[in-house]
Amino acid sequence: MKWDVSSYNPYKSLTSGEMKILDVVEWIDGVGGEHVEIVPLGFQMDDNRERR
């Protein structure tokens, strides 16, 4: 069985600054997750305003 985790799950850690989105991806990998659903809530996908 494969399982995935949404980046929304650690929302409190993302908004508090305890984790960054790449920390979340590493955490999911570390617990055996094989897929990450990225929900851009609590972080910006692209902080470079010139690329928006």
pLDDT for res 10? 86
CB–CB of 38/4 below 8 Å? no
Residue the block writes with tokens 């997750």: 33
Q: Considering the entire predicted model, what is its pTM?
A: 0.69
CB–CB of 28/8 below 8 Å? no
Please give the chain's pLDDT, 52 residues, in tens.
677 788 888 888 888 989 988 898 899 899 888 888 888 777 776 665 565 4
Output the CA torsion 26→5→39→19 (10° steps): -40
pLDDT for res 38? 86
